[in-house]
Amino acid sequence: MDVGKPKEPDSRKPVAPETGVWSADESAYGDRYQDHLLEQYKLLADTACQTSGERGKAGTFFLTLNTTLATVYTLASLYTTSWLWRVLVPLVGLILCLVWDALIVSYKNLNRAKFDVLHEMEKRLPAAMFKAEWDVLQSGGSKRHRPLTHVERAVPYVFVVLYLALLVVALFPKWAGFEVKPSAPAPVAQQSTPVAAPRK
């Protein structure tokens, strides 16, 4: 029995089988292995770009929705003193922001999975473009790349702070220093009684 130096792993065998990327080895697949691998790589790269585009559209939608909601609150405050408007609009805004943040995280996880698979496929291609790009961004030193997700998630939380402040003002106006004092009634003009002219 050979107990010498263990054999080096074959780089052509499936890498990271737990990811389920490789379904067949090149020798078992056939002559079109590289062609089909490249086509699948291009297809996955296209879907990753489409996901990024949908992510941007979703962000624009929620930004427009929250801006409109803030405008509605401002107009409602000018034309009505209803307590319901001052509470309902911020509550709806908070729910929208939570959904917005959850959607950002979902898109981030989806794209991360796609690029993890792309990086794995690049190990069998001549150039690992996406992997090299990410490595360059991460090796920026003091100017290290900040992921877009960090910036995206900051926007809904800005609206969260705004809506919480509006709720505090609506629920505790005296404590917040925004108590609306009722206007004093207008003075009623006293009618003067005509004085009868003295008789001669």
- Which pLDDT belongs to residue 184? 47
Question: Does the residue 72 lie in any domain?
Answer: yes
Find tokens 């609150």 and name the residue.
Answer: 73
Backbone angles phi, psi at 147, to 5 degrees: -55, 145
Confidence of residue 190 (pLDDT cuts 50, 70, 90): low
The total domain count for the chain is 1
Q: Is residue 21 part of a domain?
A: no
pLDDT (tens digit, 9 = 90+) per residue, 19-76?
A: 578 887 778 888 888 889 899 999 999 999 999 999 999 999 999 999 999 998 888 8
- The verdict on residue 142 lying in a domain is no
In a domain, 12, yes or no: no
The answer to whether residue 3 is domain-embedded is no
CB crowding 34-43: b at 16 or more within 10 Å, else e: eeebeeebee
pTM of this structure:
0.70
Q: Residue 185: its pLDDT value, please? A: 52
3-class DSSP assignment, residue 181: coil
Q: What is the pLDDT of residues 122-164, one digit of tens each?
A: 988 888 888 888 888 878 655 767 778 888 999 999 999 999 9
2-11, 37-46, 109-118, 180-189: segment of lowest average pLDDT: 2-11
Is 125 inside a domain boundary?
Answer: yes
> Residue 192: inside a domain, yes or no?
no
More confident residue, 15 or 82: 82
Contact 69, 95 (CB under 8 A): no
Query: Would 195 be classed as within a structural domain?
Result: no
Read off the pLDDT band of 175 (50, 70, 90): low
CA 139 to chain centre: 26
**Structural domain for 98, as ranges:** 30-137+149-174
- Per-residue pLDDT, 11: 41
- 13 vs 107: CA distance, rounded Å: 31
